[in-house]
Chains A and B, each alone.
Chain A
Amino acid sequence: MKVLCVTGIGGGTGVTTVAAQLATALKAQGHPVVAFDFSPDNTLRLHFGMALGDDSGLAPQVVSGQAWNEVAYRSANGVDFVPFGNIDASGLNHFDELLTQQPDWLSRRLDELDLPADALVVLDCPRTFGPLWLQALAAATLVLIVLAPDALSFARARANERAMRLPGNARIKYLFNGFDASRALDRDVVAVFRYELREKLVPVLLHRDEHLREALASKRDIYEYAPSSQAAQDFSSLAQWLATPPEVTPRP
């Protein structure tokens, strides 16, 4: 079982979209996938076709002391997912407190799942530095940091890595989302990252493709909405790379 923690630096880099489409792509390639929404925004579920008014989810269950697995759903394309649930500010505080008291809460829940070896767990963590985020980092076998190809990303990436002294065997990989080759700055930032980060950068770039936004608006995943779009191809490549990362030979 692999645990992918998808997180971002700075806001609005598209972490949830990446997590959702990645989970779909992994499922399409034949892996059992469980996706968790760890953000109070509670939007991951929308990528999987859950009704807008449905408030159920992980946080309300935990706060009210009920079993979290009662709110596990399966999307039309076969991805198992757990929404965060709609919760007010005091509820969220309570949730955070509970988690702070049980630092191994997440890893215990993941163990309980008892998933097969080829299964992947995708943790959608756009909200950084909360107790759930810390537990996600600790439980992850791979941390995928989603970046926007802009000037601030580089500085943030540096600072962030220092902040994330990760326990265990987790690896950090950086992933660019929203790359637009027609913007010179995008190309330059990617070039600099390539030079600085080398094999820490995922070789797949996620392009800024309008197909992706339209897919969400029409409440479908990218494979259903535009299977031959660049976005679909990007996520397929990313899923393939994640499921079987090539042996990286260090440069001399």
Chain B
Amino acid sequence: MNQRAIDTFLRACGVTPQPSWPRMLLSLIFVNPPQKPAALFPHIDFTHPHLADVVRIPLQLLWLILVRPRRAPPAHARPSVAHRYRVRAVRLAHQLWQRAAPIRLRMARLLTPNLRHAQKTLTKMATSHEFWDRSFIRYSAYGASVLMAFLCVTTPFGTLSQLVFVLLLLATALLIRRIPGSTVTLLLTVLSVTASSRYLWWRISATLNWDETFDLMWGALLLTAEIYTYFFLVMSYIQTSWPLYRKPLAMPANTTLWPMVDVFIPTYNEPLKVVRSTVFAAMGMDWPQDKLRIHLLDDGRREEFRYFAENLGVNYITRLNNDFAKAGNLNHALAHTAGEYIAIFDCDHIPTRSFLQVNMGWFLEDPKLALVQTPHHFYSADPFERNLDTFKKIPNEGELFYGLIQDGNDLWNAAFFCGSCAILRRTALEAVGGIGVETVTEDSHTALKLHRKGYNSAYINIPQAAGLATESLSAHIGQRIRWARGMAQIFRLDNPFFGKGLNWAQRVCYSNAMLSFFSGIPRLMFLTSPLAFLLFHAYVIYAPAISVVLYVLPHMVHATIVNSRTQGKYRHSFWAEVYETVLSWYIARPTLVALINPRKGKFNVTAKGGLIEKDFFDWTIATPFIILILLNATGLVAAAIRLFWGPQDEVPTVIINLVWTLYNCLILGGTLFLASEVKQIRLSHRVRIKLRAILHLPDGKLIPCETEDISEGGVALRTSVSTLPAIEPNQHLQVSLWRGNEELIFSGLAVFSSTSQLRLRWQFENETDAMNLIQCTFGRADAWVSWAENTQHDKPLESLKEVVSMGITGYRRVIEQFFPKFTPVFRQLARLREGIVWYLPRTPTQSLEHRA
């Protein structure tokens, strides 16, 4: 290499060449260098050299040599020929663009300026052309599509042709995935279904080892799991292909036309504290007072509840037995009331004042409409969110269902009843014999029966009621077990695939809802399958490693692209894996049992409002996963042995299984993270709501402030500037809040105060105060509207990173629990990691480009 080349190279790296090498290195370390190198060494403080810089600078130099930062060409430099041509081309294009303005205008008028709308219009033009009305053309087109799809899926390819095919699919997907609109989503879905179908066909036709019984058994099991996943995927695509996003319909201005509504609030063993708020809020709903009846359905037969209801003028209904739990309770009340419509709220779902006005409109429009469901919104963190610290940051487990699936179902007239926050038409409900009592998920079954009778359902995705999430992980899992068991029961007793009255899409939607609860066993299969090879040398997928990669990866990548696009707002990639893995073990058995004997199994009430007094690790929940982890760890050891001492030709297969096992280990680590319960000490939940408030001081002075959080127990206030006078603890103060434009006042005792913050404990003299508070806070029409505005849309790679780091942390926590003496070791490790990061080279600062 000659001297000039080296100089150019150094300049390229931003280093001024010096006459001699030692001098240059010395100048970098000891002499205040010119600006450029400083920008190239953003992490090194040249004014205060550190001994370690001897290592850090050469490292950074090496990095800069390998990864050259991009920079703008110097302004004074003569433009290259290519650049001049580029400029000319751009200018020409611009002129053409200007010339074409009239045409563009006409096009724009034709297509409307909105791209999404244009897409819709075009799609409509293409799909609703009268051309399609001729059945011959229509069916030949179907036939041709099916034939082409069949060819596309079944044609056997060699490695190279499969590679080309896969790359083409991927290139198409990456090209179009940024374009908004449902048509593109459908196109991406088609690509994904193609990749997955091809994978499944290949799995069935070419990867089973029929010669080895053991391999075949494992292979068949895994294949079954994969077939399940495939059908579930395709059916979800159908279910959510075109979410309806139904808007509320306005009520007529004349309120005498508004129907009579019964509000049912069923309760069994929940404390009055929880139920009170719901009753208060229900009483504050905007509806003609003579057409609104509130009924407290107490299955606990408690005097306290009767007294409370009578005091408020709310109807109290109870019965002598508890047959059929909540379903029986509702049916009993149904027989003792007469309103045209029935709004049902679980006793801890607090409705907003606008609930009825927003949701009743569609009933008046459609006489066959039997059900309007709204989302279940939770203002407290569920155990997953609490333990993973993802509350309000990452969409929770239920958001996918209420955010997307129900809207998708609604298109197919298959929105389900979810037991609460819904309105039912009495005549329809009576036509199906009331709420279903055959299964433990009475709500879905009732909806299924309504649909079979030809009634319609609707879903309005505006949170109009909010409740408490389950408290502990075990309770949360218990609830899911109940759902899983109930769905399996319906699947057996009243299978939506068969029987009368449903259209094919409703069958798909219902079946998919049930199938989703059968995911336990397949998930366990995926968690253990690589072990079959690593431990027992069974070729579960009997194919060369390269083929496996070429078939599996497109299947997974395309599914991720589509799901991230359609579900991204409601569920983040990879997080679902953690949620489902935790549930898999627990729902596997009950679903299997219910499938075999659907009559077994009791209704268990979901406990809410409990306390977790200190941080603890839920060993009962975690045990199965620890066993799975140990198995996978053994697999890792086996993989290492096979890698180093096994036959050479197996290495690629070992690597695939190793990667798979590592992924499983990470997801399982996430479950450990989940099992470490974070303490929760307050009985009433502080809900972060920012509301305008006025603080009334005892001397008659008023200070405007804002609420930070509110609960039934107290409030935290904050002023914009530090102006609060000294407030003694237990001093009596008053706070104004607003219900609509009505200002109401509440008393409280100071608990804590600083110059800008104050916490009060409410001191209520009567029920009216408590009721007003609920109506000023939880009952506001806009209480939950902007709740989700801070959650981010999914970025698959980001999510993967988060899940990986969560998995690692999960392991750390468990080891710290098991062996507390390791804690300092982890601290050391963390410090070591930080130390290493400190040494690592960095990308030069942005300012470099401006300077250059």
Q: Which residues of B are found within 8 Å of A207, using beta-carbon distances?
A: 694, 702
A252 to B741, CA, bound (A): 19
Residue of B nearest to A186 (CB): B743
Whether a CB of chain B sits under 8 angstroms from the CB of A100 is: no
The answer to whether B699 touches A210 (Cβ under 8 A) is yes
- How far is it, in angstroms, between the C-alpha of A205 and the C-alpha of B692 when the chains are bound? 14
A40 to B276, CA, bound (A): 58
* A181 & B736 in contact (Cβ 8 Å cutoff): yes
Task: Assess A208 versus B700: contact at CB under 8 Å? Given A182-B734, A228-B721, A252-B253.
Answer: yes
Q: Which of B703, B720, B734, B745 contacts A230 (CB 8 A)?
A: B703
Contacts of A209 in B (CB 8 A): 700-702
CB distance from A85 to the nearest CB of B (A): 33
User: With the chains together, A190 CA to B740 CA distance in Å?
Assistant: 13
In the bound complex, CA of A207 to CA of B744 (Å): 13
Q: B744 and A181: CB pair below 8 A?
A: yes
Contact with A along B701-745 (1 / 0, CB 8 A): 111100000000000000111010000000000101000011111
Q: How far is the CA of A210 from the CA of B744 in the complex (A)?
A: 19
Contact B743 A233 (CB under 8 A): no
B residues within 8 A CB of A179?
743
Contact assessment for A211 and B741 in the assembled complex, using a CB-CB cutoff below 8 Å: no
Cross-chain contact of B704 among A181, A208, A228, A252 (Cβ < 8 A): A228
A203–B741 contact, CB under 8 A? Answer: yes
**A181 and B743 within 8 A (CB):** yes
B696 within 8 A of A: yes
A229:B703 contact, CB within 8 angstroms:
yes
Report yes or no: A211 in contact with B702, Cβ–Cβ below 8 A.
yes
A contact residues around B734 at 8 Å (CB):
182
| Docked-complex contact B721 and A182, CB < 8 angstroms | no
Complex-state Cα separation, A190 to B742, whole angstroms: 9
A156 proximal to B (CB < 8 A) = no
Contact call A231/B742, Cβ cutoff below 8 A:
no
Given known contacts A187-B744, A209-B702, is B694 in contact with A230 (CB within 8 Å)? yes
Give the contacting residue for B701; candidates A182, A205, A229; CB below 8 A.
Answer: A229
A205/B700 in contact, CB under 8 A: no
Q: How far is the CB of A84 from chain B (nearest CB, A)?
A: 30
Question: Which B residues are in CB contact (< 8 Å) with A197?
Answer: none
Residue of B nearest to A213 (CB): B700
Q: What chain A residues lie within 8 Å of B702 (beta carbons)?
A: 207-211, 229-231
Is A110 in the interface zone, CB < 8 Å from B?
Answer: no
Number of residues from A at the complex interface, CB < 8 A:
21
Q: How far is the CA of A137 from the CA of B224 in the complex (A)?
A: 88
1/0 per residue A94-134: CB within 8 Å of B? 00000000000000000000000000000000000000000
Evaluate whether A228 and B703 lie within 8 angstroms (CB atoms) in the complex, with A181-B736, A181-B744, A205-B743 already known.
yes
Q: In the complex, which residue of chain B has the Cβ closest to the Cβ of A230?
A: B702
Instruction: Tell me if A191 is interfacial: C-beta within 8 Å of chain B.
Output: yes
In angstroms, Cα B738 to Cα A207, docked, is: 14
A228 to B734, CA, bound (A): 18
B395: min CB distance to chain A, Å: 37
Could you tell me the distance in whole angstroms from the C-beta of A238 to the nearest C-beta in chain B? 14
Complex Cα distance A42/B469, Å? Answer: 63
B-chain residues with CB within 8 Å of residue A203 when the two chains form the complex: 741
Q: Are B694 and A194 in contact (CB under 8 A)?
A: no
Is the CB–CB distance between A233 and B745 below 8 Å? no
With known contacts A209-B702, A230-B702, A230-B703, A182–B696 Cβ distance under 8 A: yes
In Å, the complex CA distance between A182 and B735 comes to 9
The residue that A228 contacts in the complex, of B253, B720, B743, with Cβ under 8 A, is B720
Q: Is the CB of B745 within 8 A of A181?
A: yes
On whether A182 and B745 interact (CB within 8 A), knowing A208-B700, A211-B702, A229-B702, the answer reads yes
> Using an 8 Å CB-CB cutoff, how does the interface string of B662-686 with A read, 1 for contact, 0 for none?
0000000000000000000000000
Which chain A residues border B743 with CB–CB below 8 Å?
A: 179, 181, 187, 190, 205
Q: How far is the CB of A221 from chain B (nearest CB, A)?
A: 16
Determine the chain A residues whose CB is within 8 A of the CB of B694 once the complex forms.
181, 207, 230
Min CB gap A167→B, angstroms: 32
Interface positions, chain A 181-237, Cβ under 8 Å from B, are 181-182, 187, 190-191, 194, 203, 205, 207-211, 226, 228-231, 233
Contacts of A252 in B (CB 8 A): 253
Residues of B within 8 A of A230 (CB): 694, 702-704
User: Scoring B residues 431 to 454 as 1 if CB is less than 8 Å from chain A, else 0, what string do you get?
Assistant: 000000000000000000000000
A210 to chain B, nearest CB (A): 4
Most buried by A among B702, B703, B704, B734: B702
**Roughly how many angstroms separate A226 CA and B704 CA in the complex, as a whole number?**
12
CA distance A190 to B745 in the complex (A): 14
How distant is B701 from chain A, measured CB to nearest CB, in Å? Answer: 5
CA of A230 to CA of B703 in the docked complex: distance in angstroms?
A: 5
CB of B736 within 8 A of CB of A228, answer: no
CB pairs A–B below 8 angstroms (7 shown): A181-B696, A181-B743, A182-B734, A182-B745, A205-B743, A211-B702, A230-B703
List residues of A whose CB falls within 8 A of some B CB. Answer: 179, 181-182, 187, 190-191, 194, 203, 205, 207-211, 226, 228-231, 233, 252
Residues of B that sit less than 8 Å from A by CB: 253, 694, 696, 699-704, 719-721, 723, 734, 736, 741-745
